[in-house]
Structure 1
Amino acid sequence: MQVFSRHFYSLMRKFKVFLTTLAFVWLWICGFWAIYRYFGSGAIAWLGLLLNAWALPLWMLLRSIWPEKYRGDQRESAAFAAVLAGLAVVLLTDTDRGQPVYLAICNLFIFLVYLFHLSAVRHPDMPAVDSRFPELVVTSCKIWHAEEYARRNNFCGLLLIFLRGRCCADSRALIAELRELSPHLQKRSVGLVLFSTSPASDWGGSGQLAAEILQLESGACANLPFVVAGGAPLLPCSRTTAAARPCQWLLDSEGVVVWRHLPHNYRTPGSADLLRSQLFRLEE
């Protein structure tokens, strides 16, 4: 039964990746169709449809190029406002209730499905608070053990952050925020360890961080709770089909979990302010 369940959820994850890719392809095509029809008819409704269709793809593109400048949230408020504004223009100008109206409503539906389903994260049974953090398998099949790592580096605690991947704008935005958190971690002698399924060389912008970056072995059984097989986006820059589940862990010097954050959406992996506010737990 467990084997069937694992294969079922693996198939569903791949289906979600496919649907996400299909949704963005549709929105881009719909925008180009709106441009074509606008120059053919001159109807303002098509410009409204263009705004409605391209709001999300352009917003995500901006976030991908400049993750430090453009930050997302649970509702992707900037894109949501543009989608609704485009729909309003279409409803006000397309008095015949023609193709632009139906396409704009369809795009709104796709946007909502993306927000609340296609980008959702399902966490399996994870280590509980007050339990020991498990061993992980990193590149070259090496075993990483939290207590041993903390003792070897003389840390009073560890902050573990699992990043979805290099192509995830939210992961890169969090990397940028962590630069401001580094002094607080060093002051408290807390070690920062970043895990992902991407090679450490992919995180070139993390050079200013006092952190160790480790690549998880995607197929290792010990890593199964933290790695999603087939969860990486279908992008040319994706070197692997696996992605890490975004989550954050605060451990004491003995490798015991004192706090954890398991976000329900990969677009909201947690912030540096949230992490800073939890450091007091190591003093209790």
Structure 2
Amino acid sequence: MNKFKVFFTFLAFIWLLGCGFWSIYSFLLHPESRWIGLLINAWALPFWMLLRYQFSGRIEGDLREPGAFAGVLGGLAIVLLTDVDRGMAIYLAIYNLFVLLIYLYHLSAVHHPKMPRVDATFPTLCRVDQRKWQAAEYCRQRQLNGVVLIFLRGSYCADSRNQLLQLCGLQREMARLKIGLLLWSVQSANQWPQRLWPAKSGSKSEPEDLMPPLQQLAPADGSNATFVAHFGAPLLLRPWIRDAARPSAWLIDAEGFVVWRQLASNYRTPVDAATLRSQLFRLQGLAEE
């Protein structure tokens, strides 16, 4: 299923980009406003996603991607008002609206296999160096009241970048509550931009404000199968990156039991810092007992 979604997502963006170039060509032959509207309609989604990727932490999206949606609908309105002959521009603009909807609600949806339930023991994870990781042992060694696990899709994902920047603000509060924070990805920390990692970029922030080291999952290990989406990376990155982590967030107590979880239904809507902050009381309450 991941292969099909990645392939059709690639086709969707190629279609939108090609439609935009064709509208430019048509405008040069016949300077009419409908081609400008079609260009806005076709390039709204690719341009919006590029902006979110380049300006992570400043431009945030949601399930509806309001910036892209406004551009697609605005371009469609221009075409409907100017294409009095009901030509090809109208049909292409409507097709592009359907492409946007299919991408937002289907192609970017995340399928989660059977995951550990609340009150169940969190499974052992395997790092890329074949070392095993267990939540209970991790908390015992560091004398923590619990640990928060965040699975990041990848460095190429605008939402993963934005999520990573949001987590900086939680470090001080989590340190005060003696709650650990671990990030997991199928990529190493070196494959993420340095500006997202204060510790790598020479920041003089206090240790509590620095991002924790990112743990790299072993994609081929069977113990990580439920958290890794094989062939889930974009098709253009396939020569270098093939797999992606399924975005999710987990609160685990000191004994290794799942206290709370959030499984993202769409990779563009991972858990945000505000939601995590509102759930930390669960581990704090267990520690007080």
For the aligned pair, the TM-score class normalised by the smaller chain equals: over 0.9
Assess, with a 3 A threshold, how the Cα gap between structure 1 residues 48 and 159 changes in structure 2: closer, same or farther: same
1:195 equivalent to 2:196? Answer no
Q: Distance in 2 between matches of 1:28 and 1:238?
A: 22
Output the CA distance in 1 between the equivalents of 2:87 and 2:153: 41
Cα distance in 2 for residues equivalent to 1:44 and 1:141: 59
Q: Percent identity?
A: 52
1:143-162 matched pairs, under 5 angstroms: 143-162=132-151
Structure 2: stretches of 5+ with no match in the other structure = 200-209
* Matches for 1:44-63 after TM superposition, within 5 Å: 44-63=33-52
1:283 offset after TM fit, Å?
A: 2.6
2:66 and 2:239 map into 1 onto residues whose CA distance is 27
Within 5 Å, give how 1:8-47 maps onto structure 2: 12-47=1-36
The alignment partner of 1:249 has SS state of strand
Three-state SS of the structure 1 residue aligned to 2:184 is: strand
Q: Give the Cα separation in 2 of the matches to 1:70 and 1:239.
A: 27
| 1:40 CA drift (Å) | 1.2
Give the ranges of 4+ consecutive aligned residues of structure 1 lying more than 6 Å apart after TM superposition: none
AA aligned to 2:134 is H
Does 1:126 find its partner at 2:127? Answer: no
User: What TM-score results when the alignment is normalised by the length of structure 2?
Assistant: 0.92
Residues 34, 49 of structure 1: 8 Å contact kept: yes
* Equivalence for 1:282: 283
- Tell me which amino acid in the other structure corresponds to 2:198: G
1:232–1:238: 8 Å Cα contact kept in structure 2?
A: no
Alignment match, 1:222: 223
Query: Which of 113, 117, 124 is the equivalent residue of 2:102?
Result: 113
**What TM-score, normalized to structure 1?**
0.93
1:76 aligns with 2:82: no
Task: Tell me, in whole angstroms, the C-alpha distance in 2 between the residues paired with 1:234 and 1:188.
Answer: 41
SS at match of 1:84: helix
8 A Cα contact 2:167 2:211, kept in partner: no
| Residue identity opposite 2:284 in structure 1 | E
Measured against aligned partners, the alpha-carbon deviations of 1:168-190 in whole angstroms (never above 9, x if no partner) come to 11001001101111111111111
1:261 is paired with a residue of what secondary structure? strand
In 2, distance between residues paired with 1:238 and 1:186? 39
Q: CA deviation at 1:235?
A: 3.0
AA paired with 1:59? W
Pairwise CA distance, 1:206: 2.3
Matched with 2:207 is none
TM-superposed deviation, 1:237: 8.5
Q: Is the 8 A contact 1:167 1:238 kept in 2?
A: no
Contact 1:156 1:190 in 2 (8 A): yes
Query: Which residue in 1 is equivalent to 2:84?
Result: 95
Instruction: Tell me how large the CA RMSD over aligned residues is.
Output: 1.2
Alignment partner, residue 54 of structure 2: 65
Q: Which amino acid aligns with 2:96?
A: N
Structure 2 partner of 1:270: 271
Structure 1 residues 124 and 110 mapped into 2: Cα distance closer, same or farther (>3 Å)?
Answer: same
Mapped contact 1:198–1:239 kept (Cα < 8 A): no
